[in-house]
Amino acid sequence: MRHTALAIFAHPDDIEYFGAGTLLLLKQAGFEIHYFNLSTGSCGSVEMGPEETRRVRLAEAQAAAGILGAYFHPPIRDDLEIFYDLPTLRQVAGVVRQVKPSIILTHPPQDYMEDHTNTCRLAVTAGFTHGMPNFVTDPPSEDVYPEDVFIYHSVPHGLCDPLRVPAPVESFVDTSSVFATQREALAAHASQKDWLDKSQGADSYLGVLDELVLKVGRLSGKFLQAEGWRRHLHLGFSAHDEDPLKEILGEKYLINESPGT
């Protein structure tokens, strides 16, 4: 398989909250890792206007990607303007065609807001097109690749679906050894402290991450700090029902024997 992983998430800082630990472990395992937020984060401030917010959050995301050692791909939409439509799909598929990932990390199919949900749908369909030369991407590219693609969905925000039903976790990744770097990358999004304090009562955006990884770690029953994942169905993406994270991460990967709990 190609040793390339692509994280496709909605907003600047979503990767750091939900998938950066796993990305870092993949990098340690020899993977080339890529960082792609679809949105500019244009609405993520109560102090700055949209143009300044875009500039600030772009610089923060680039800095975070650098801390993770990931290739950065620029955003393509503003906040609340991520829709599952053909122009956007062509652009996301264009990045997939360029990167040629074997592993795609993205949001869950159901999450608390539509930017997350639509990003998931776009990532899944873009991954599905990886071997389809007749699908036109933006920019145009016929450089398809036949290798398998495996998609993993992160836990949703709040660890529940939009109707407050607890979300099942299929597997856990022990991120304790890379958490300091993950937290440093999140800290690069410094503009979000004031925004989250005022808009969501988050107290500390770093504290939200601290609590999340500890809670997922407790759910694992084994790891102190962890990220949670569910595999997308392999049909149409891979010839075989495989779980490459299990093979790559070894003892740092735990399958939940009771994913509905």
Here the CATH number for the domain that contains residue 156 is 3.40.50.10320
104 and 149 in contact (C-beta within 8 Å)?
yes
Q: What is the pLDDT of residues 127-145, one digit of tens each?
A: 999 999 999 999 998 889 9
User: Would residue 122 count as lying in a domain?
Assistant: yes
226 and 174 in contact (C-beta within 8 Å)?
yes
Q: What is the pLDDT of residues 203-222, one digit of tens each?
A: 578 889 999 999 999 999 99
User: Would residue 57 count as lying in a domain?
Assistant: yes
pTM: 0.95
User: Would residue 260 count as lying in a domain?
Assistant: no
| Torsional sign, CA 99, 104, 109, 110 | negative
- Cα–Cα–Cα angle for 75, 78, 79, rounded to 5 degrees: 115
Q: What is the pLDDT of residues 27-76, one digit of tens each?
A: 999 999 999 999 999 998 878 999 999 999 999 999 999 999 999 999 99
H/E element, 144: none
Q: What is the pLDDT of residues 165-186, one digit of tens each?
A: 999 999 999 999 999 999 999 9
Please give, one letter per residue, the 3-state secondary structure of 228-260.
Answer: EEEECCCCCCCCCCCCHHHHHHHHHEEECCCCC
User: Would residue 261 count as lying in a domain?
Assistant: no
Please give, one letter per residue, the 3-state secondary structure of 193-214.
Answer: HHHHHHHHCCCCHHHHHHHHHH
Residue 257: per-residue pLDDT: 85
Number of structural domains, the chain?
A: 1
Which of 234, 163, 175, 140 is CA-nearest to residue 18? 175
**Which domain does 209 fall in, by range?**
4-255
Q: Going by DSSP bridges, is the β-strand pair 103-106/32-37 parallel, antiparallel, or unpaired? A: unpaired
